[in-house]
A = this chain, B = another copy of it.
Amino acid sequence: METLSTDVERLIKDTAKRIFFVEGKLHATTQDIADAAGINRASIHYYYRSRKILFDKVFEEAMAEFHAKLTVVVSQENLTFRKLVESVIDFLLKKSLEHPFLELFLVAELNQDPHLKHARLPEEARARRMMLKEYIAEEVAAGTMKPIEAEHFIVNLISLCSFPFLAKPIVKNAIELSEEGYVKFISERKAVIMKLIFLDL
């Protein structure tokens, strides 16, 4: 049946994503994925001719997801800059909570195959960065932020949001947290980051 087949196809891809992006098991085999999905490994070859095709698909969507993540950093209109940054942090943290190891996967793949096509940034991205620069200038003028290059601002934001998830096992160990302690720690991040960015918080 058409819908069912699509279901399994989806199940396979979603399971692969879960293993890579959520569990961070970058060395997972097709068998691992089949087991986790509760299907026969041959089904993977039925829907995706080869391991590489499945992986490429997953990679491609991961790139798209990250790109979306990034786009949000400098999009959204009709908001005060403050509200915008807040919603960006919410978004980044939410995405990292869903897919803590997305960046891990992307970087591992990109390093393996350095000539993987880099998603070309749309022209509007550059325009948005200009807008971000203006926003920052306004805050600086108002004395609520220090001068900072937009590029550093963006990287700071992503670093502060993503790293604690991406490096969960070492962060947990480094500051001696239980699973609950880690969850609590994560829940405090937004306030910490906002406070770090804006002088008047």
Contacts and interface: CB of A to CB of B under 8 A. Distances in A.
Contact of A24 (B108, B149, B158, B196): B108
List the number of copies, as a whole number. 2
Contact of A155 (B101, B156, B164): B164
A127 interface: no
Contacts of A26: 26-27, 108, 111-112
A159 B155 contact: no
A91 interface: no
Given A27-B108, A103-B170, A170-B66, A151 B163 contact: no
Interface in A6-59: 23-27
A185 B154 CA distance: 12
Contact of A119 (B110, B149, B173): B173
A140 interface: no
Interface size class of A (residues with CB under 8 A): 35 or more
Interface in A167-201: 167-171, 173-176, 185, 188-189, 192, 195-196, 199, 201
Interface string A109-130: 0111010001101000000000
Contacts of A141: none
A152 interface: yes
14 contacts: A23-B111, A26-B27, A26-B112, A27-B112, A66-B170, A70-B174, A110-B169, A118-B173, A121-B174, A146-B196, A151-B175, A155-B164, A160-B160, A162-B163
